[in-house]
Amino acid sequence: MKVLKFGGTSVGTVDSIKQVISILEDNLAQGERIAVVFSAMGGVTNRLIEIGRMAAAGNGEYLDLMKAVEERHFTTIRGLIGVKSQSSTFATVKGLVNELEDLLRGVYLIRELTPRTLDLIMSFGERLSTTIITEALKHRGVAAEYCDARLMVRTNAYFGMAEVDFATTDRLILEHFAKSSALQCITGFVSSTADGITTTLGRGGSDYTASIFGAALDAEVIEIWTDVDGMMTADPRKVPNAFTIPSISYAEAMELSHFGAKVIYPPSLQPAFAKNIPLKVLNTFNRDFEGTLVSRTANSKDYAYAITGISSIDDTAMVNVQGSGMIGVAGISARLFTALSVNNISVILISQASSEHSICFTIDPRNSDRAREVLEKEFEAEIATGDIDSISIEKNVSIVAIVGEGMKKSTGVSGKLFSVLGKNGINVIATAQGSSELNISVVISKNDLSKALNAIHGVFFQSETRSLNLFIVGVGLIGSTLLKQLCDQEKYLRTEKLLIVNVIGLSNTRRMLLYPEGVSLKDWRDQLAEQGVKTSLPAFVQRIKELNLPNSVFVDCTSDKDIVRYYETLLDASISVVTPNKVANSGRYDEYLRLQRTALQRGVKFLYETNVGAGLPIINTIQGLMASGDKFLKIEAIVSGTLSYIFNNFKSGVRFVDVVRDAKAKGYTEPDPRDDLSGTDVARKILILSREVGVPLEPEDVSVAQLLPDNCLKAPSVEAFFAELEASNEYFEGLLASAQAKGEVLRYIATLEDGEAKVELRTVGPQHPFYTLSGSDNIVSFTTERYKDRPLVVKGPGAGAEVTASGVFADIMSISSYLG
Ligand code: ADP
Ligand code: ASP
Ligand code: MG
């Protein structure tokens, strides 16, 4: 004997019922002895509850909703049964509908909906669906018989979640099955008391019906047919990467379903477990798939994960009872939980601080007002004396539980859990570990639920592949080069680094695009043009926060000063920031510090290697040396490609003005070369380097020696500037000559020494590392306690879209290894 159960989604439409019938016929054709349990058509139970409540509230519109329910069932009859044979089914269904309408009319008149009446109203869902499917089977020639479970499943009168009297139930089932050999089509979910009053087994209870019948009949298997591929590593509606668990123990399945995996109703496991009957969870819409086997043994050997699955209870309330008078006082928790249990408030999870200063636990949020009343009454005296100072209740919290028998064997599971939550900035409000070591649960804010589930799933089940979610602002030269590099490297990152980089958001000054599925790295231009909307930076940032994706990185590829204002709120929302934009780090020191601190507190990264020397490892080198305890004695730097080029090429026989013209022609300078020659950009860079080595300078602390004579600075236009530069030729020749007289060369150098930063034109001799510089290279030399005799020098091209983008790329990559 096999008991099959088809849930609401499996019997929700004509087409799906056809699938169900075909599965049943296949079983019969193979000579299987089967019995089958049906749920109400998907959504009908909820609808009936709503209709009942409307009627009780005196809202006459319940009739319209009722009409729609009736029509849905009639349509189903028409779709399943030929016209000639429909009438008797219509008559039976109409009879049931009339009975329900009379009942609702009664509720409407007396304006009262008791739990007992609600159970009776809900029972029509299963009675209607099962009637129709039984008739459809008969119509196809199957010897099927409608079986009202209320005649057999005997319960107490605890309406809404009645408790089964197994001895009587088992006997009644066996008696019934002894009488008939036809295929029994059983109404799920419904039951009755000894007096014949209708009760129900709790929401999702059709699974329980199947298990009750399976156990009574000693079935060899109970098959739960639903709309997903079995029990999965997480709810596939919340975690798209979830996959099927091939086999699982009763205990694990119980734990997962208790913590929210509604694919099996938790009490259903008990009767099957007691008789050691395996349960299979199968997909009506993918019937050849093996699904999940629930049995005594945990998952098979080839299931190589430390945990079996993750589930969540989305809506809970957390109650916290605390007070200094609770410490060491025996019996407080006993009184507390007794008071709750006497009042039928069930506790989902308990966590007590070891100081005994507080006890916190979670309950169904619908019970929170009652819980407060009950506890305030129970501890009235303690509250009056101040021994207990408060009973606080926090709503909008969720519980996430990781479950698995494998946890007993492997260490570090909880470490991994808390670390991934921490790295994603998810605050753990409370935690509990079952003493069976079968589950670890955390209470978190409901806002973080989806992020938490996906991030936890990522580390436990896809630990090989990590993913980053990027939001890129600025798709000019650097941004678009970065996108091209990401596109070119996509396959390499995926296969060699097991890293998937999704670009979720893109924005330029005109348009922005947020696309949670990931923007195409090839066609982003078209996508942005076609699907983008008018740019609004606040909206863009707000949306990034709302999406609350794990491993989010905001990439600012602009030099804009407005965007920088959002860094702090982004970091605060646990979103890493990567940028070549210098504005944030070269403003006021306290702002710089605040960003650093926020990143640290939130466990995310703020990276800006490209602020100085583009892709050259300058800031990373400093941070590495600082971390290892080295002390900086001096930094010297040529960190302007333009000024590097100009002085590397200003030699005897060449006029200074011609070198500057040449640099401009080559595109090395700003449109007005004075923007480079003024030294302000260099000053900002040395300011940033100073802060990195722990010298807290403000912008005005950096002294910049003027390179240009006054007449050049004051020239009203770029052309006039060049003319003045030419006129000042002698001045520059003089500088060059005096350098050459010493056997030295001119270099425009930023220096940090003894806590002071300055930028100036200097001469350096052949022994200095900057003497041989060429092209437009940048160079930075670090003299530290460890690199004292010969400084540590970093040198190379320090400007250009390719190298800057690759520096940004490297920063992004370093975030991925940090997350790993
Ligand atoms: P039925 O109508 O067949 O009884 P339910 O809606 O009660 O179906 O349960 C199936 C649903 O359970 C799935 O659609 C899925 O969204 C949800 N679910 C939650 N957690 C899990 C999980 N771990 N594995 C599979 N499904 C899950
Ligand atoms: N129809 C009931 C419900 O929706 C029982 C079930 O579907 O298992 O809760
Ligand atoms: Mg269900």
Highest mean pLDDT among 413-427, 450-464, 720-734 belongs to 720-734
What was the pLDDT predicted at 298?
A: 73
Residues 167-203 have pLDDT tens digits of 999 999 999 999 989 999 999 999 999 999 999 999 9
Please tell me the residue having the least CA distance from ligand 2 atom 6.
204
Q: Per-residue confidence at 77, pLDDT binned at 50, 70, 90? A: very high
- Residue bearing the bigger pLDDT, 772 or 437: 772
Place of tokens 């494998």: 406
CATH 3.40.50.720 residue spans of the chain = 466-599+808-819
Ligand 2 atom nearest to 7, measured from its CA: 7
Ligand 1 binding pocket includes 262 (Cβ within 6 Å): yes
Q: How confident is the model at residue 755 (pLDDT cuts 50, 70, 90)?
A: very high
| Ligand 1 atom with the shortest distance to the CA of 284 | 3
pLDDT average, residue stretch 352-369? 83
What DSSP string runs through 413-474?
HHHHHHHHHHHTTPPP-EEEE-TTSSEEEEEEEGGGHHHHHHHHHHHHHSTT-EEEEEEEE-
- Please write the tens of the pLDDT for every residue from 473-530: 999 999 999 999 999 999 999 888 888 899 999 999 999 999 998 999 999 999 999 9
What ligand 2 atom has the least distance to the C-alpha of 208? 8
* Catalytic residue (choose from 685, 714, 758, 788): 685
Read off the pLDDT band of 356 (50, 70, 90).
Answer: low
Secondary structure (3-state) at 805:
helix
- The residue ranges of DSSP E strands in 593-685, in sequence order, are 606-607, 632-638
List the structure tokens of 116. Answer: 């007992």
**Protein residue whose Cα sits closest to atom 8 of ligand 2:** 204
CA of residue 235 to ligand 1 center, whole Å: 7
**Is the pLDDT reported for residue 435 higher than 70?**
no
Q: Is the CB of 313 under 6 A from ligand 1?
A: no
Average pLDDT over the chain reads 94
Lowest mean pLDDT among 326-330, 460-464, 579-583, 700-704: 326-330
Domain(s) of CATH 3.30.360.10: residues in the chain = 619-799
* The predicted structure's pLDDT at residue 478: 94
What's the CATH fold of domain 309-461? VC0802-like (3.30.2130)
Name the residue of 41, 226, 241 whose CB sits within 8 Å of the most ligand 1 atoms, as the mutation to test its pocket: 226
Q: Would the CB of 6 count as within 6 Å of ligand 2?
A: no
Tell me if 189 CB under 6 Å of ligand 2.
yes
Closest protein CA for atom 5 of ligand 2: 204
| Per-residue 3-state assignment (H helix, E strand, C coil) for 89-127 | HHHHHHHHHHHHHHHHHHHHHHCCCCHHHHHHHHHHHHH
* Ligand 1 nearest-atom number relative to CA 232: 24
pLDDT of 671 reads 86
Which ligand ends up closest to the CA of 161? 2
Known catalytic membership, residue 5: no
In the β-sheet with 430-433, what is the strand arrangement from edge to edge? 347-352, 358-363, 309-322, 390-403, 439-445, 430-433
Cβ pair 748, 679 in contact under 8 A: yes
Q: With pLDDT > 90 as the criterion, what percentage of the chain qualifies?
A: 84
CB of residue 45 inside a 6 A radius of ligand 2 = yes
What pLDDT, in 10s, does the model give residues 91-117?
999 999 999 999 999 999 999 999 999
Highest mean pLDDT among 11-15, 304-308, 516-520, 667-671: 11-15
pLDDT band at 330 (very low <50, low <70, confident <90, very high): confident
Task: Using pLDDT thresholds of 50, 70 and 90, give the confidence band for residue 820.
Answer: low
DSSP string, 170-217: HHHHHHHHHH--SEEEEESSEEE-TT--EEE--TTTHHHHHHHHHHHT
Q: Which residues contact 364 (CB under 8 A, 6 or more apart)?
A: 315, 316, 317, 345, 346, 348
Q: For 2-227, CATH number?
A: 3.40.1160.10
Query: How many angstroms does the Cα of residue 57 sit away from the middle of ligand 3?
Result: 28
Rounded mean pLDDT, 434-459 = 89
Instruction: Please identify which residue in the block is written with the tokens 């200095």.
Output: 768
Residue 730 — very low, low, confident or very high, per pLDDT cuts 50/70/90? Answer: very high
**Residue 463: what pLDDT?**
64
Q: Which CATH superfamily, name and number, covers 619-799?
A: Dihydrodipicolinate Reductase; domain 2 (3.30.360.10)
pLDDT tens digits, 19-70: 999 999 999 999 999 999 999 999 999 999 999 999 999 999 999 999 999 9
Question: Residue 267: CB within 6 Å of ligand 2?
Answer: no
Q: Report the atom number in ligand 1 closest to the C-alpha of 233.
A: 23
Ligand nearest to the CA of 224: 1
Looking at residue 354, its pLDDT comes to 60
- pLDDT tens-digit readout, 707-724: 999 999 999 999 999 999
* Architecture in CATH of 466-599+808-819: 3-Layer(aba) Sandwich (3.40)
- pLDDT confidence of residue 466: 80
- Is 226 a pocket residue for ligand 1 (Cβ < 6 Å)? yes
* CATH 3.30.2130.10 location in the chain: 309-461
pLDDT in tens, 608-637: 999 999 999 999 999 999 999 999 999 999
Q: Is the CB of 125 under 6 A from ligand 2?
A: yes
pLDDT of residue 355 exceeding 70 = no
